[in-house]
A and B are shown apart, each in its own frame.
Chain A
Amino acid sequence: MDRNQMQLKIACLRKSFFDEGFLDEQFIQLEDLQDDVNPNFVEEIVGSFYGDSVRLLRNLELSLEKRPFDFCKLENYMHLFKSSSSSIGAIKVKRECTRFQDYCKAGNAEGCISSYQQVKQEHAILRRKLETYFKLARQAA
């Protein structure tokens, strides 16, 4: 694949993030922060997000194994996850976090369990897409 084809592939992949609703305008704001001093800021902050989220998701899973549910603790864990998701523009993940919080507020244990699985799924899907994107971008650079 020549350089132009690679650039086109990267551009199409990036566009799909927004067209398919995975990322929102916040991601573009982060890209605008990249400069000569911080040329890889977006990849670094996404890396931090996924690094931190392993721990957050683990805390959530451990809490979801306990009975009865501590809905307040669950909601607080998810609040942290939602904060960082919104900071990188991960809009689908953020939406699922809100759904989980709503189930916590309603004291709906089954809803929490099913929406947690959705959070994990959206988180994993976005991770795969972004890893592919950054890998291609590095190859093209």
Chain B
Amino acid sequence: MAKKVKSSNKSKLSALVVDDDGVCRTVHCAFLRRHGFETSSVESGRQAVDLIRSGQKFDIIFMDIIMPEMNGVQATRALRAMGVKSMIVGIDCDLDYINEDFMQAGMDRVYEKPMTSEIAISVHQALLNNNIV
């Protein structure tokens, strides 16, 4: 089940963090909340797909790439096949080792971990510029 942080500011952008590591989920959510996002998090690609299939919508999905069972690329393909139009940002620490075409899978951007303020600010600005919200 997604862990959601409620915000009293309804105009905030919504972000879903998908990562099988608890420290990463906490750190990513902290950066995103600091920079204007309301955050939810799940532990796997499968949980992300199930959550969105259940009707939850997010402005942006931060997708860890190397995960067991359903990796970030597979989850992204599944979400795009479902018609999900949210920005999907891949983020992992071993990008050089991953032999996948992230953009072809449907990711909009890919970053090397760790999550930083610069990344959070950049995607926030991109969302506003794209008039997605």
Contacts and interface: CB of A to CB of B under 8 A. Distances in A.
Interface of A: 26, 29-30, 32-33, 38, 41, 45, 48-49, 52, 76, 79-80, 82-84, 86-89, 94, 101, 105
Contacts of A52: 21-23
A96 to B, nearest CB: 14
Contact of B30 (A41, A86, A89): A41
Interface residues of B, number: 24
SS class, residues of chain B in contact with chain A: mixed
Interface in B5-28: 19-24, 26-28
B115 A87 contact: yes
Contacts of B21: 52, 80, 83-84, 87
Contacts of B94: 79, 82, 101
Contacts of A87: 21, 23-24, 27-28, 113-115
A92 to B, nearest CB: 15
B56 interface: no
5 contacts: A45-B27, A79-B93, A86-B114, A87-B21, A88-B27
